[in-house]
Amino acid sequence: MSINDYKGVLVFVEQRFNEIQNVSLELLGKGRKIADELGVGVTAVVPGSDISKHAQLLIEYGADKVMLYDNKALELYTTEPYTQVVVKAINEEKPEVVLFGATSIGRDLAPRVSARLQTGLTADCTSLDISEDRLLMMTRPAFGGNIMATIVSPEHRPQMSTVRPGVMTKMEREPGRKGEVVNAKIALEKNNQFVEVVSFEKEVGTKMDIQEATVLVSGGRGIGSADGFEILDGLAKELNGLVSASRAAVDIGWMPHDRQVGQTGKTVRPNLYIACGISGAIQHVAGMEESDLIIAINKDKDAPIFEIADLGIVGEVQKVLPIVIEEIKKINAAKVIEN
């Protein structure tokens, strides 16, 4: 069959502990846009156990068809059974585009599927577009984020990609939206590639090492007191980060030494460093200047920290942060699935 026989967009819907993951709704939103551009439908493939309750939600978020693979053996994610399900769905549906979340499940499953189908796969995309000749243009960062590359799969179908969570936007939920729900059957084929899940445990973030944190909210002398760090802690919690401090704040005793960033403390390189009330003495800057994104809040508009910050905010930490936290809470609340 020719590649033109492949039609439609297929989205792998990921559930963990039988909760639909946000990224899957984002993919349905993006998939919807792509499908409309291509003039085709969106199919959601859901492996799991006791999952029929999710069907309407997926339709309301953009799926035209939901294929439920409800099977006790699919309750927990493992590679081989899920591969069998997705490969079967693809072989039956013949979609031109298949999207997975670039999560630890999607990035385990998608390459396995691509190799079984002998088709291309582009990892961790941050943007998807359709070209004039109907190709999926998959753009992704490479080289440690230093360059962006746009990838196409001109002669192989389906065109598959894993998509970075949090990048695509969900479509506005359309209550009562109609779609087809299929209780798909699969006879899992037992083979040597099955593994046994002994346990699956939820883990709350306990990493306390500031060098491991991807987000650091850091305070300096400008915080004014040990109690002043509470608001930093509040922001760090919202961003899944940790609180760190400058030498000044540590020397005064507001924060323990293991949280100190700088020449005599630790060198950190988080994705986001928010410097609050830190002037930016060079012994501090030496320990954090490699951070990907630096935001500085300081009431002194001539503070040297602004010279290295990507975004500098002239203002009082104790006044600005509560509003920031409130805003982030609003945004996060909007992300939570309403079921």
Buried b (16+ CB within 10 A) or exposed e, 31-64: bbbbbeebebbbbbbbbbeebeebbbbbbbbbbb
Nearer to other proteins, 178 or 330 (CB): 330
In the complex, least distance from residue 230 CB atom to other proteins, rounded to whole angstroms: 17
Q: How far is the CB of 148 from other proteins (least distance, A)?
A: 5
Crossing angle for the helix pair 230-238 and 317-335, to the nearest 10 degrees: 20
Cβ proximity to other proteins: between 187 and 333 the closer is 333
**Considering the complex, what minimum distance in angstroms separates the CB of residue 75 from other proteins?**
12
- The nearer residue to other proteins, 185 or 199, going by C-beta atoms, is 199
Helix (H, G, I), strand (E, B), or coil: what is residue 289? coil
Of 181 and 314, nearer to other proteins (C-beta) is: 314
Name the minimum Å distance from CB 175 to other proteins. 26
**CA 271 to mean position of chain CA atoms:** 14
Q: Which residue has the tokens 């992300």?
A: 335
Q: Which is nearer to other proteins, 56 or 83 (CB)?
A: 83
Minimum distance, C-beta of residue 133 to other proteins, in the bound complex (Å): 11
Under 8 Å between Cβ of 305 and 283: no
179 vs 64: CA distance, rounded Å: 5
Number of Cβ within a 10 Å radius of residue 195: 10
